[in-house]
Structure 1
């Protein structure tokens, strides 16, 4: 299929294995050192590496395959290390319970590293492709090689058994927050037939060959219906909707994508009109990416002049005929709600003075983002460049602190 997508998946797996190995070694240093002064920076590295590993996971085609326990483990590890690293360890050293947690994290992260190396070796020995993994998951093809899939399932099962690790009473990962909010959705529970109808209406498929509806209601996971639609051309479209309220969480069409005939701008019009027709109005395009013949657009709503980044929706458009072939709306469904949005304490001019003097600002806006503690904070968003490289910088509108910075790849 797409060479660029295959390269992205390979890079994601390489990042995951590299950062997990680095994470394991950094945890080993943390339990070996005797200096409280050095422990803080070491735990900061653990926090940074855990989120870097999560980013690697996010680049893999694992949407349809359970890997949430591992992502949750990495998120909790990041939250624990960040919370511990940012306190004064000279005045408030590690408790015996926290020391035990670090030792357990070192041991358990080593187990994950070993399993990832087995998967890595299998990929090399069998010359496996990640695009084949994506197709095998999407089509449930039993004949295709499932070595990678089985390897990741085994890792997630092992991580699910890491019950002895105490991350502290106040540790709540972003994944847990999302699951809790999706589990608390309001509305009547819909029946399988209604889920089927909603999926067909949402996708616009009028004459499917076959539609299969599966109820998924596992303990600790929000109840959903997974709908698999066999299209007339033999490809599959997969849809997930919540059982309560029938809200769409994601959709993916697995058809082959031919040579692009539409521009990025044409694709954005298709994506925006699709959102409008499905009831998502007031959305702004905040990011555009292109992978060969597919364009990916990220949208966020703006309310009262504030861009709501926690409520993002991602739309994937095939540029061969302008068809929407993917939607990711879990963040929107989980987070979008009536908020009492705060007022900025700092002026935009005062916030801009906190920027690097070499950063040339091109756009300014108020936005709501989630910080590293998974708290929603009001920020000033500055988009600009240092030399020819584009960045997105978020400055806290109350404290003036730099909350986060992202590198931007503009699509030409």
Structure 2
């Protein structure tokens, strides 16, 4: 009798184990299906947005009305930002994809800086129209490549979770994976026209040279620690839902590329593996009517910089687009502004949330400089200006000249005819005008009131 009792107990245990194993397998399968659905959605949205981006740029080239041009350029900026977020949702963190992301960034930077300009007073130049033509052609090539990938994925019923699995192994060659090899083609295509120098509209002096990431210091962190850093930057209470992985071997700096999506919000961040520094951050959500002014938003931006341990930073430019405040900060060394180390922060004007942050230039270039005293005095530098320019304020600054050499200049804010405000960079040793920028109305009013 005992024999049959033991057999019965063992049978029940075996049945229970089988049931538990089935539930465990079913749960893992459900998670895999959910991940696959998320990847498929992000990919098809990316393809759609690049398609729309191409059409919108084409429509811009055909426009004649300046009243319609600014909103159209702003729409292109929005689409490029959303496409960038879509890329962050795909399991490509271990695959070098920086050229495509840089191309999207270049589109966004160029169209944003053009959209916020007063196009009635300063219409698009012939050179800028040529840039738009080139952007249109380039976006068309990427669109075609993505459509090819899409047709292959749908036609062959390929799975993105297989991509994630393939990229997580130690094999350097993934040419047998159709999606990976197809996206490598997209990346190679983007590499032909992602040169930042071609699309820099000159709104601020910027670093275009290749540098080591001198500002990335500290101990290496693991992926869980990186998610904790990202959660704080995203203003989340938990790391649950944050996904991503390490950057590929082609990355210019080892990163954790992380993203999340929740309740209609999405976020994307690059965290350095060394030191756990936030290099870039992008948030997407619906925004309400502005409730904050630029002064309050600037304080939110400065508070965020301090959280990132970026101190001794000075705001040098601000602007407003719709319900977003955009601020540029540079570090100051011995009362000299260092423009190569520039940081951008975007603040939502409805509630003060941080929507964007780009500190790549800072961490790429930041180091202690040996800054020599200027040969010209401030008075001598201002004497070099056009006599119709009224000087409002002057600062010493370090910028990169046309040959990418750091040059000490006097940065002079001045007005002409009491209407137009200019930022003029005069070489502090020779008196040569290195660069002149016209400020938008919003920038001018804000800078004059600070």
Change (3 A) 1:400 1:183: closer
Give how far 1:215 is off.
Answer: 0.8
Give how far 1:299 is off.
Answer: 1.0
**C-alpha contact 1:271 1:315 (8 A) present in aligned 2:** yes
Give how far 1:63 is off.
Answer: 5.1
**C-alpha contact 1:213 1:225 (8 A) present in aligned 2:** yes
Change (3 A) 1:112 1:290: closer
How much is the aligned-residue C-alpha RMSD, in angstroms? Answer: 3.9
Give how far 1:405 is off.
Answer: 1.0
2:273 corresponding residue in structure 1: 243
Give how far 1:406 is off.
Answer: 1.0
2:402 corresponding residue in structure 1: 372
Change (3 A) 1:185 1:269: closer
Cα deviation per residue 1:199-249 (whole Å; 9 max; x = unaligned)?
112333104551102111232632211111233x23111111112222211
Provide the rounded CA distance (Å) in 1 between the counterparts of 2:56 and 2:409.
29
Secondary structure in 1 matching 2:286: coil
Secondary structure in 2 matching 1:265: helix
Instruction: Say which of 256, 264, 269 aligns to 2:294.
Output: 264
Change (3 A) 1:267 1:225: same
Provide the rounded CA distance (Å) in 1 between the counterparts of 2:407 and 2:243.
42
Structure 1: which 5+ runs fail to align? 1-8, 19-55, 76-108, 123-151, 163-172
**C-alpha contact 1:288 1:410 (8 A) present in aligned 2:** no
Provide the rounded CA distance (Å) in 1 between the counterparts of 2:395 and 2:315.
14
Corresponding position: 1:384 with 2:406: no
Provide the rounded CA distance (Å) in 1 between the counterparts of 2:276 and 2:191.
29
**C-alpha contact 1:289 1:297 (8 A) present in aligned 2:** yes
Secondary structure in 2 matching 1:285: strand
1:115 corresponding residue in structure 2: 137
Change (3 A) 1:60 1:12: farther
Give how far 1:404 is off.
Answer: 0.8
Corresponding position: 1:215 with 2:237: no
Provide the rounded CA distance (Å) in 2 between the counterparts of 1:355 and 1:155.
48
2:227 corresponding residue in structure 1: 196
1:332 corresponding residue in structure 2: 362
Change (3 A) 1:259 1:206: same
Provide the rounded CA distance (Å) in 1 between the counterparts of 2:297 and 2:190.
40
Instruction: Say which of 434, 442, 447 aligns to 1:403.
Output: 434
**C-alpha contact 1:185 1:244 (8 A) present in aligned 2:** yes
**C-alpha contact 2:215 2:363 (8 A) present in aligned 1:** no
Secondary structure in 2 matching 1:182: coil
**C-alpha contact 2:396 2:408 (8 A) present in aligned 1:** yes
Give how far 1:160 is off.
Answer: 3.8
- Which of 1 and 2 has greater Rg? 2
2:344 corresponding residue in structure 1: 314
Instruction: Say which of 226, 232, 236 aligns to 2:257.
Output: 226
Change (3 A) 1:295 1:112: closer
2:189 corresponding residue in structure 1: 158
Count of aligned pairs: 290
**C-alpha contact 1:212 1:228 (8 A) present in aligned 2:** yes
Provide the rounded CA distance (Å) in 2 between the counterparts of 1:273 and 1:113.
36
2:90 corresponding residue in structure 1: none
Cα deviation per residue 1:303-342 (whole Å; 9 max; x = unaligned)?
2111111111111111111111111111111112111112
Change (3 A) 1:58 1:224: farther
Give how far 1:259 is off.
Answer: 1.1
Cα deviation per residue 1:30-50 (whole Å; 9 max; x = unaligned)?
xxxxxxxxxxxxxxxxxxxxx
Corresponding position: 1:182 with 2:209: no
